[in-house]
Amino acid sequence: MDYKMGYRVKDIRLAEQGRKQLEWAQMHMPTLMGIKKELAASKPFKGRRIVMMLHITKETGVLARTVQAAGARIALVAGNPLSTQDDVAAELAKEGIMVYAWRGQDESAYYENMRKALEIKPEIIMDDGADMHAMVHQEYRNLKIIGGTEETTTGIVRLKAMEVEKVLRYPVIAVNNAYTKYLFDNRYGTGQSGLDGIIRATNIMISGKVAVVAGYGWVGKGVAMRLKGHGARVIVTEVDPFKALEAVMDGFEVKRMSQAAGEADLFVTATGDKNVVTYSHMKMMKEGAIMANVGHFDVEIDVKTLRSRARSERELRSHLREFKLENGTRIYLLSEGRLTNLDAAEGHPSEVMDLSFANQVLGALHILKNHGKLENKVYNPPPETDERIARIKLEAMGIEIDALTNEQKEYLSQWRYGT
């Protein structure tokens, strides 16, 4: 593989298969397709250079096609070494997008590909996890970037830290903070694709198992809900008293990880935090316990210590490794501790990414239209955009909702009426 063709993918001959995958995704992404039609006519991104660093799935392919149809020149790289769908990457490369990504790329290729993408001198950066935002801030300070978008919770945490330190050099739209993103993608998307990954990697029966979900944020809620739906007894671990209380009221047991570690068959981390499952927890686990992560980075389960301390390690099935601990217990890790829903399964269903990626493209458009007016801050997506996306989605689903009457609007805007 080399870069001389203007792309670097696993095998360009996979393009036809990728084209079919994209066709299937497009059928389930009516919101984004509607926006694409509109932008293909007006071409607001004409001549603009955009670097996209996202999980290269068929849904991201539909987003890339949309931004391309709106006139942009795109370089696309993977937001995770294990999440690229090589057939989709091949088709996008054929369609003239500069794709530098393949499934299983190592860490040095991950960074080399990022650098290659930056050669187009982007004006806008669309990121997932903020690795690209961090790289341009640290090493590419001469680039004239007018702004960016950020897909996920973890990326926003990093960008907010940059804002607080006053080092953020351009405005960023926090796509994750749209209602039409986190309420659906994080919760229902990961709820489904997280379980899909666990089931594809293990084919275990969820029903009757004891499962621990670490973190009861939007992602954790979705995963806990779906595990419960499959018949698991779910224990939640939290550090936030409100979320812990919410989990209790939703009918889950809440415990410390150290209390739950010896009890569960399955552990799923969804915190965005590090060392949530430590090696001391692992030593308490039952024979056959399985650990999976759906949080953004591979630091939630302490894989490093596990690797250094385990007596032996082997791959037993795709996406599933067995570790024999010093005490003789065998425990199992999915997807190397990386996002299992994107490694062992295909990521979120198209229907939900339809909402998230409508926010990505409209977020980038907001950056472009308001260039010069925005400060170097992390902004929530404009509420009118968020509402527009929800309405288009409902319409595409054939669902009509009521509208406030003038009398109701008046009633809801005053304080004098009472009993």
Query: 14 vs 358, which CB is nearer to ligand NAD?
Result: 358
Q: In what order do the strands lie in the sheet with 253-254?
A: 253-254, 233-237, 210-214, 266-269, 290-293, 330-334, 320-324, 312-317
Interface with ligand NAD, residue 341, by CB under 6 A = yes
Asked if residue 209 lies in contact with residue 286, where contact means CB atoms within 8 angstroms, the answer is no
Interface with ligand NAD, residue 192, by CB under 6 A = no
Query: 31 vs 271, which CB is nearer to ligand NAD?
Result: 271
Query: 100 vs 218, which CB is nearer to ligand NAD?
Result: 218
Interface with ligand NAD, residue 57, by CB under 6 A = no
Interface with ligand NAD, residue 152, by CB under 6 A = yes
Residues 6 or more apart in contact with residue 226 via CB below 8 angstroms: 191, 192, 194, 195
x-or-dash pattern for ligand NAD, window 21-50, by CB under 6 A?
------------------------------
Residues 6 or more apart in contact with residue 95 via CB below 8 angstroms: 65, 68
Query: 171 vs 222, which CB is nearer to ligand NAD?
Result: 222
Closest distance of CB 194 from ligand NAD, Å: 6
Interface with ligand NAD, residue 271, by CB under 6 A = yes
Interface with ligand NAD, residue 336, by CB under 6 A = no
**Separation between Cα atoms, residue 76 and residue 366, nearest integer Å:** 21
Interface with ligand NAD, residue 223, by CB under 6 A = no
**Looking at 18-26, 29-37, 217-225, 402-410, which segment touches ligand NAD (CB under 6 A)?**
217-225
Binding ligand NAD (rule: CB under 6 A), the pick from 136, 339, 344, 345 is 339
Torsion of CA 227, 352, 269, 292, to 10 degrees: 70
Interface with ligand NAD, residue 349, by CB under 6 A = no
Interface with ligand NAD, residue 153, by CB under 6 A = yes
**Separation between Cα atoms, residue 27 and residue 349, nearest integer Å:** 12
Asked if residue 147 lies in contact with residue 367, where contact means CB atoms within 8 angstroms, the answer is yes
Interface with ligand NAD, residue 215, by CB under 6 A = yes
Asked if residue 283 lies in contact with residue 259, where contact means CB atoms within 8 angstroms, the answer is no
Closest distance of CB 200 from ligand NAD, Å: 14
Closest distance of CB 112 from ligand NAD, Å: 24
Binding ligand NAD (rule: CB under 6 A), the pick from 228, 243, 255, 317 is 243
**Which residues does residue 228 pair with via DSSP β-bridges, in sequence order?**
none
Pairing verdict, β 253-254 and 266-269: unpaired
Cα–Cα nearest to 18, from 91, 83, 99: 91
Cα–Cα nearest to 126, from 365, 334, 373, 322: 365
Closest distance of CB 55 from ligand NAD, Å: 8
Query: 68 vs 359, which CB is nearer to ligand NAD?
Result: 359
Binding ligand NAD (rule: CB under 6 A), the pick from 161, 164, 167, 239 is 239
Residue closest to ligand NAD when measured from CB atoms:
217
Asked if residue 70 lies in contact with residue 362, where contact means CB atoms within 8 angstroms, the answer is no
Per residue, the 3-state secondary structure of 66-132, as one string, reads: HHHHCCCEEEEEECCCCCCCHHHHHHHHHCCCEEECCCCCCHHHHHHHHHHHHCCCCCEEEECCCHH
**Separation between Cα atoms, residue 160 and residue 372, nearest integer Å:** 20
The phi, psi pair for 277, rounded to 5°, reads -110, 110
Closest distance of CB 269 from ligand NAD, Å: 8
Closest distance of CB 281 from ligand NAD, Å: 11
Q: Which two tokens stand for residue 221?
A: 């809620």
Binding ligand NAD (rule: CB under 6 A), the pick from 80, 113, 180, 237 is 237
**Looking at 28-36, 96-104, 152-160, 397-405, which segment touches ligand NAD (CB under 6 A)?**
152-160
Q: Which residues from 66-125 bind ligand NAD, rule CB under 6 A?
A: none
Interface with ligand NAD, residue 216, by CB under 6 A = yes
**Separation between Cα atoms, residue 49 and residue 130, nearest integer Å:** 18
Query: 8 vs 221, which CB is nearer to ligand NAD?
Result: 221
User: Given the rule CB under 6 A, which residues bind ligand NAD?
Assistant: 152-154, 182, 185-186, 190, 214-220, 237-240, 243, 270-273, 276, 294-296, 339, 341
